[in-house]
Amino acid sequence: MFQAAAWAILCFAPRGTRPPEYAPEDLQDNLDRHVAEVGAWRDQGLDKAFSGWVERSRQPELLTMLLTLTLTWQEKAPPKFQARPEAKALLIAALRAVVDTLDEAARSGS
């Protein structure tokens, strides 16, 4: 997860620049919102809810890449390093929170 979050940060900080500044409470707000959204997927049908949720991201292509890499790493990791199934929802929500927060900060000129 941390490696994927670091890659997200680098996407918003090309060589010779700094990543956008953001308020930690903005990241927390995004994380809280996305955790709640992911928690509601069971009521909507997982596949449809997931694809719509990704498309509503501020950077859907970047989020798709990061989720694909992270979930693939999780599948191929030794069992003792794999996230528990119930923790994967938090991992997914956290990556979207990072991407959305950085995008919001970059677009606001922070």
Burial (CB < 10 A; 0-12, 13-18, 19+), residue 38, is: buried
Residue 17 and residue 101: Cα distance in Å, rounded?
18
Q: pLDDT 10s per residue in the chain (110 long)?
A: 778 888 899 899 988 999 999 999 999 999 999 999 998 887 777 778 888 999 999 999 999 999 999 989 888 989 988 888 778 889 999 999 999 999 999 999 75
DSSP assigned state of 89: H
Q: Is the dihedral of CA 20, 96, 28, 90 positive or negative?
A: negative
User: Which amino acid does the sequence have at 60?
Assistant: P
pTM of the predicted model, to two decimals? 0.88
Those residues whose C-beta lies under 8 Å from the C-beta of residue 10, and which sit 6 or more positions away, are: 19
Q: What is the pLDDT of residue 37?
A: 92
